[in-house]
């Protein structure tokens, strides 16, 4: 089976379960349908979300919604081991041996009630990871049709290249936003463009609504003005700033409000004028661009 293209905007599920909204099956099924109605068909998971419970909650929900599996793309991440007496983990660590990777993927498949993941990501790099062992596990999972595509998350260019010595890396999910633009300054996004790696950005709104500091205030002032100019929401302006980058970044959003989800999709419809794009970066930096 060939991988289905991911939607440009991706729904992040981290707060859908007990780590946030604690939605029941009906509420979660409704949220899935809201996303699909707005053209958002890709859903980002990790095995650890909800202390290993959110994937299963989502699996029950999409089944209850009686959706065709091909209507949605399921992404999951593994590699982080959280402290858990039930799992025999006494200290948080990273694990990437073949047995763990296979067991984690098969557990995600059971939880999500599916035969395959559209995309598997290594959640965070480990100094002890062995590229050849990871490649062998991933190649077997691909050959069995249990994963269709493979990538990494929070990896630097060198860490990505380490994995690329043994296996193709198609994706890298990193932190990126107008208030956290380091990836476009430290070579990360350049590296992805050179090697055909699809960037995904977590926390795409950055600290604009999380903090009340001078940086957030400057960005909000400029974004509000641009919101009126382009007649879209402030959040959509911040997404448009990301979408206008030539690396083709896919934002992974966390909001669960139907109206805000619909508003975010408007970011795909506009092209920020060059000086408007730089105005947001300048507001974030608090100084003229270098």
Catalytic machinery residues: 49
Among residues 184, 187, 154, 186, the alpha carbon closest in space to that of 169 is found at: 154
The H or E element spanning position 77 is strand 73-78
Residue with tokens 């959706």: 67
Phi, psi of 152 (to 5 degrees): -130, 175
Task: Using the structure block, give the residue that is written with the tokens 């959640």.
Answer: 123
Could you tell me which residues are beta bridge partners of residue 81?
93
Which residue bears the tokens 């099956």?
25
Spell out the alpha helix ranges (H) of 196-265: 214-230, 234-243, 258-264
Instruction: Please list, in sequence order, all residues whose beta carbon lies within 8 angstroms of the beta carbon of residue 282, skipping any fewer than 6 positions away.
Output: 288, 289
CA dist 138 and 11 (Å) reads 24
């Amino acid at each position: 089976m060939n991988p289905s293209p991911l939607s440009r905007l991706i729904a992040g599920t981290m707060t859908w379960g007990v780590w946030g909204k604690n939605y029941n099956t009906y509420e979660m099924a409704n949220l899935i349908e809201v996303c699909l109605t707005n053209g958002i068909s890709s859903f980002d998971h990790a095995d650890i979300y909800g202390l290993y419970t959110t994937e299963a909650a989502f699996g029950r929900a999409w089944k209850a919604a009686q959706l065709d599996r091909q209507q949605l793309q399921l992404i999951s991440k593994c590699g982080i081991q959280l402290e858990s007496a039930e799992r025999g983990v006494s200290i948080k660590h990273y694990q990437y041996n073949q047995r763990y990777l296979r067991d984690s993927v098969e557990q995600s498949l059971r939880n999500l009630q599916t035969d395959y993941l559209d995309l598997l990501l290594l959640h965070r790099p480990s100094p002890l990871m062995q590229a050849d062992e990871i490649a062998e596990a991933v190649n077997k999972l691909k050959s069995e049709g249990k994963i269709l595509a493979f990538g990494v998350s929070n990896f630097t260019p060198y860490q990505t290249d380490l994995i690329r010595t043994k296996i193709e890396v198609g994706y890298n999910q990193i932190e990126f936003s107008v208030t956290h633009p380091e990836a476009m300054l430290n070579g990360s996004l350049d590296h992805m463009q050179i090697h055909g790696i699809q960037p995904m950005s977590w926390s795409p709104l950055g600290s604009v609504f999380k903090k009340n500091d001078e940086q957030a205030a400057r960005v909000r002032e400029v974004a509000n003005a641009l919101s009126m100019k382009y007649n879209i929401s402030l959040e959509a302006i911040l997404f448009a700033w990301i979408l206008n980058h030539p690396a083709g970044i896919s934002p992974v959003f966390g909001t669960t409000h139907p109206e805000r989800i619909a508003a975010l999709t408007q970011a795909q419809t506009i092209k920020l004028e060059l000086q408007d794009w730089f105005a947001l970066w300048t507001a974030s930096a608090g100084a003229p661009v270098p």
